[in-house]
Every structure is written in C-alpha cells, then in structure tokens.
Chain A
Amino acid sequence: MERLGRRGFLTVAAALAATLVVSGCSGEKLEGDSSNNKGAGAVTLKVNFWGDMGLDQLKAKYEAAHPNVKIVLNSGEYNAQHEDLQKKLIAGSGVPDISAVDEGFIIQFRSQADKFVNYLDKGGAEFESRYLPWKWKQSLSTDGKQIGLGTDVGGLAIAYRTDLFQKAGLPTDREAVSKLWTTWDDFINVGKRYTEKTGKKFVDSGTNMFNPVLAQQPAGFYNEQEQLTMDGGPKVAFDTSIKAIQAGISANLVSFQPGWDQGFKKDQFAVLPCPAWMLGHIQKTAPDQKGKWDIATVPGGGGNWGGSFWTVPAAGKNVDAAVDFVKWLVQPEQQIEVFKTVGNLPSQPALYKDPAVLNFKHEFMNNAPTGQIFASTAENLKPQFLGKKNGPTRVAVENVITRVQQGKLKPEDAWAEAVKEAEKVAKSAQN
C-alpha cells in the first residue's frame, strides 16, 4: 500500500460516499413502494415458500388471466422462510403478500392470528366443507379465525423393500403386506420376525413410529383447555415406540441426516414411514434401488406427515389481491395441476376421485398407485386438537425416546422421564 497523500484520502472518501449512495438507490424498496401503483390498479404480489410448489406454471396462467397482477416468487430454505416470516411479523413490516406455512409451524402462527388475514372475513367459509376436517382445524385459531387455506398434505404410508422382505420370507405384494400390519402391535411383530431372520433392523427410527401413532389417537398432548394430558394418546404412542426399541427393530437413525441417507444404501432398515413428498428423496438418494421399493398402508389406517397452508399476513400491502390469488390456487383445477407437476397431494378429498390422482402410478416404487394409497391414509385421519405448546412438547418427548435409543435411558424409566419433560414445557407456558 503506497503512502496515501491527501489526494489519496479524498479519492477514497469520495469513492466510498459514491458507492453508498449508489447502493442506497439501487435497492428495490420493500416498503414505501412506488412500484406497486404504476398504472391503474397494478399490483405486485410477493409469495414466500420453499422448494417447488408447482407455482411456476400457475403463476404464468394467473398473470395471463389477470394482466394487472404481477407475481414474484421467492423460494427459500424451509426454516429460514418461517423464521423470516416471524421476524417480519414482529417488526410489523416487510412481510410478503402471501406466505406458505408448513404443518410444523402452523400452530405457532395461528396463535398470532391477529397478524393474519382471517379468511372467514373474506368469504372463505365456503371452503370449509371442501377440506379434510383435520386439515381445516390445523390452521384454525382458538377464537375461530382461519388463517390458512391448505394446499397439500403428506399422507402417510409405509414404504418397504420388497427384496429385503423376500429374503426374510415375508410376502412382497402390497395388499398382502398391508394386511400383515393392521395394528401397530402386528407391525412390531413383523419387525421382530424380520430382525430375527436377517439380523438387520426393521424400521429406521423409534421417533418415526411415535409421531404416526400419536396422530391417530383421539387426543394428543393437550386437551381443548390447553392442559397437558399425557396419559391418553401420548402414552399409547410412547409405549409403542419403546416397545419397538426394546424389540430391537429400530435402526436408531434420524431422518434426513447423512447417516439416514447412508442407511438406505446399507440396507439398515427395510421399512420407512413415508409421506408423499418423501418419495422424491428416496429416488435421488438410492437410485439403484428402483423397483425394490413398494408402498403399503400404515397400521391404524390413517396418517399424515407434513403439508402446507397459504397464509396472507395482515400487514401486507395488497391483501385483497393476495386473498384472491390464494383462493384461485386452492381451486381443484390448480391443485390437480400441482399434483401432476410436483406430486404434492391435494388436501381436498373430492379431488381424490379425480383420475389424475386415482390412476397415478409411481414408477420408482414398483408402479404403486401412490395417489390412491396416500389419499386414503389422509382421508382416514381423525381431527385431533393440537395445543399451543404441541411443538416443544413433542420435541421434548422425542428427545426422551432418542435417549432410550442411545442407550442412555432405561426403557422402564422412560415414561416417567417423558412426563417430567413434558410437564416442564407445559409449566414454562404458565410463567
């Protein structure tokens, strides 16, 4: 670095100032917008979501039909998008016009229902009858405000390896397999048979059994008065997963971690609780296992893992236009379009009779009629009330199950520990 003379200083200072000014002007401001009102009624809608929700074609279609509407798609990372929404809600500005919210976060946001548009105020009541009852309830706030219109559901089925089943002397045809495990106890017994025969583990994780079982119970962690009720549904689900761990059929892996991915290749598990949206991942992770996988129904009949909602933050600038767009997005025509392009299962049961869903066969999964299978599991799920602290309580109990899997906690002591942890979470809500 040469000696900076005075001229040098001034040049640097000037350059700095210039760049600051330029960068300030080059921004497309998110508020104080002039861009939205160019021309009569011109509107720009910003949509936040993650992954591929089939919006690219739909956007073009909607814009063609509504020339004054421009749609800006913003796909980001799953957790980052939800956190971003939460932070902007607190700040009261910078919210997107439409935000997708996942099942895992919907409770958090429905507790802040006043920050969202209530669809019931905007003619949304007619939608209720179209949706799966439990899906409608998930985004309904405790004071009856509907902040979300559901888009897709995951459903839940059991994916299984036909070749590994064959080696263990188990049937491989999906009807036969579905009959093998109509209850979870049957499921565990099949697992024991498999493990004894082959020496390998059966299911990928104990926690992946806890959640499906819990979802099938009439009551979950909290009753409608927001009181912790561990002895009902949670105990049933907990005991099932501990039984599975004690039977030695769990490979003790954690979903979507590299170790779990490797588990596919090493045949570390033969079955997998699998929602519709996971199929793509299986395909990409283990492409050479094509044709070796198939889908059977889940024990207990009904299930769901994941699924999202479209919400409209109240602080947005174009609330009415946004609501119109969302209402269009959830029309049957668009939902079938999404199913065809990205495979997301609609959450409106009437659509399950649509030939596109009914007749769909998934090539990788041995041509299983995944549309039908997932649809029926989604239909068979009964609504369950989810308390405000459902998320943290579930995490706390899952941790206890993991500790048993890791060998740090004895199965006999596990239930007391789970109750203790759940009570800690519930109590922290009272402070």
Chain B
Amino acid sequence: MSLTQIRPVAQHQSPPPTPGRAKLWLHRFDNKTIPYVLISPFFILFAVFGIFPIIFNGVVAARNWRLDDPDRTGWAGAGNFTRLLQDEDFWNALGNTFGIFILSSVPQLLMALILASLLNRKLRATTWWRIGVLLPYLTPVVASTLVFSVFFNRDSGMANWFLSLVGFGQETPLDWRAEKWSSWIAIATMVNWKWIGYNALLYLSAMQTIPKDVYEAAAVDGAGPWRQLWQITVPMIQPVVVFTVILSTIGGLQLFNEPMMFDENPQSASGGSDHQFQTIAQLIYKVGWKDLDMGYAAAMSWALFLIILIVAGVNTLLTKRIGGDR
C-alpha cells in the first residue's frame, strides 16, 4: 500500500450531524452491534456442535468407564488424572511427541519460507510449480502412508537403498521402525513432506501482498536474496508466520495419522515394539479404543489439551519476540 493513497485527514474531528433518531440508531447499531453479528456464526455453530463434545469429554474424564467392564462405573474424580502422573507410557509418549514435533515443525516452516520465496519470483509455468508443491497436501492419507511405509522398508525400501549408496547399512539394513531416532526421522519426514507445500502457499500469498516500495525503501547495498528474505520479507509477513507456528504446534502435538500408519501392526497402535514412536494422540486412541478405558482416555486428552495450550502460547511469544512485535 502506497502512502500516497491515504487521504489527508479531514480537518473537522466530529462526524457530520446526523438527522433523525433512526439514523442515529442505525449508526450505533453499526458500530456497536454489527461486530458481534459478524462473529456470531462461528460461535453459534460452536455452541451447537462444539460445546457438548467438550462437556462429554470432561464428564467422561472424571468417571470410571471401561467398555469391557460395564460394572465398573461411578465417579473417579481426579483418579484418572493422578494415574497419568505415574504412567510411564504417558511420559514416554510425551517425549516422543515433542521429539517428533521439533524434528517436523522447525525444518518444515523454515523450508516452507524458503520455498515460498522461490515461488515468489517471476517464473515460467507458475501454476505448475504451485500445483506441484501442493500435491502432497492433496494426496489422501491412505495412499501417502502406504508409499512411505514401503519407502522405509527394512529389506528393500528406497530409503535404505539411498543409504547403501553412501555406504551405510551394508551388513544389516536399518530397521527404521526399531529405534527412536530413526522412527522419529522417518515420521518427521512424512509430516514435512505433507505440509511444506501447504505452509509455503500461505506464506506466498502473504508475501505477494508486501508492497514493492518496502523493498525500494529498504535499500541495502550488496544484499543478496538470502538477506532480503530474512531481513525484509519474513518480518513483513510476521502475522502469517505466527499463524503457521500456532497451527503447526497444535497439529504437531496432536500427531496421529503418521505414527499409526508407520506401525507395522497398525491396529495395535503401539507406536513400535517398544513404544519408540508412540505419540500422545496415538496413546489416547489405544487406551480408549483398544484397552477400552474411556475414562482414562478422556483424562489423557485433557492433559494433551493443556500441553498444547502451554506450548502454543510459548511458541507464539517466541515467534513474536524474534520477528519483532507488530
């Protein structure tokens, strides 16, 4: 937006006189009530469809409810929650979730920024490039997880074939699912593959609205595209960056599909033979639908909710601090 488009501020400070009470009422309505009208569709929908599931979840978390033991009912109070503190599976899953989260979100967003900047040039065949990078996001989960499952196969997967090219794992091919570090990398790769294009598109749409004179005005001699990207472009799209940080935090901590599909026995939801890549969402699924302990699963999902709140809050503050508050 060019500065020349702003009209000079009018000299008179008060609005022109409003003739008649009807007009006055309309004006007040417009100012005071319309905002609430505009945001109401979301809240109405949420009140109808969102509140009950939350209450349901809350009530269930405070009760004993096991699908395989109909006799065990009644209020558990905080029992389900205190059980969490001593549950080593829970803490293990928490560690896994964080590990995978860091491995996926940080490189993902950085690469998305770089990719967006590449796309933000005068290019030939622009549409094709954009479609191309969005393909992972379009692909149904069932297809992409099969492909990666084969890719990370121990005996004949392509990942191990690549590794063998650089001399790795000649004697015994790497079993990606066997260790924490390898399974985390594999899952993070799947997640990054899916979401980089998506985030790049969000960044790109924001980058394209940066006014050109910002670049002209910020003349820094000898600066290459790298500096330009990090010193001018990224700070200018900070709100969208914050947005993606929050979203990828929420999504990353709730990671479910990829660990489920990476399991060699998907329906066991064990996250590996030693729970090496079991995320919290996966553990909640297992506790609720496999161990049939609904009360405990509900309590665990509240714990996850709390964790997401805290981490997303921290991440937001960090991002705002780094980007300079706006």
Contacts and interface: CB of A to CB of B under 8 A. Distances in A.
Note whether A and B contact each other (Cβ less than 8 A): yes
A392 B178 contact: no
Nearest to B149: A258
Interface stretch (A2-10, A241-249, A332-340, A400-408): A400-408
Nearest to A417: B274
Contact of B270 (A399, A408, A431): A399
B273 A403 contact: yes
Interface in B54-107: 66-70, 79, 83
A108 B274 contact: no
A114 interface: yes
Contacts of A112: 67-68, 70
A395 B270 contact: yes
Contacts of B146: 258
A39 interface: no
B67 A111 contact: yes
Contacts of A428: 291, 293
B154 interface: yes
Contacts of B273: 399-400, 402-403, 406, 408
Contacts of A32: none
B268 A431 contact: no
A264 B290 CA distance: 31
A365 B314 CA distance: 62
B277 interface: no
A26 interface: no
Interface residues of A, number: 34
Tell me whether chain A's interface is mostly helix, strand or loop, or mixed. Answer: helix
Tell me whether chain B's interface is mostly helix, strand or loop, or mixed. Answer: loop
Nearest to A400: B273
B69 A388 contact: yes
A90 B297 CA distance: 15
B68 A257 contact: no
B296 interface: yes
Pick the most buried of A108, A263, A388, A399: most chain B CB atoms within 10 A of its CB.
Answer: A399
Given A111-B68, A262-B155, A431 B296 contact: yes
Size class of the B contact interface (CB-based, 8 Å):
20 to 34
Interface string B129-167: 000000000000000001001100111110000000000
Contact of B68 (A83, A108, A398): A108
A391 interface: yes
B52 to A, nearest CB: 12
Nearest to B268: A395
A259 B68 contact: no
Pick the most buried of B68, B178, B265, B274: most chain A CB atoms within 10 A of its CB.
Answer: B68
Interface string A261-285: 0110010100000000000000000
Contacts of B268: 395, 398-399
Given A111-B70, A112-B70, A391-B290, A254 B83 contact: no
A108 B70 contact: no
Contacts of A86: 67, 289
A254 B155 contact: no
B67 A108 contact: yes
Pick the most buried of B69, B146, B155: most chain A CB atoms within 10 A of its CB.
Answer: B155
Contacts of A392: 290-291
A400 B156 CA distance: 24
Contacts of A83: 289
A429 interface: yes
Interface in A375-412: 388-389, 391-392, 395, 398-400, 402-403, 406-408
Contact of A108 (B155, B156, B292): B292
B264 A254 contact: yes
A406 B265 contact: no
A225 interface: no
A111 B70 CA distance: 8
Contacts of B66: 429
A79 B267 contact: yes
B156 A399 contact: no
B278 to A, nearest CB: 11
B30 to A, nearest CB: 16
Interface string B286-326: 00011111001000000000000000000000000000000
Contacts of B83: 431
A257 B266 CA distance: 10
Contacts of B266: 79
B57 to A, nearest CB: 13
Contacts of A90: 67
B290 A259 contact: no
A180 B153 CA distance: 34
Which 3 A-B residue pairs are closest in the complex by CB-CB distance? A402-B273, A111-B68, A254-B264
11 contacts: A108-B68, A108-B292, A111-B68, A258-B146, A259-B157, A262-B155, A266-B156, A388-B69, A395-B270, A395-B290, A431-B83
Interface of B: 66-70, 79, 83, 146, 149-150, 153-157, 175, 178-179, 264-268, 270, 273-274, 289-293, 296
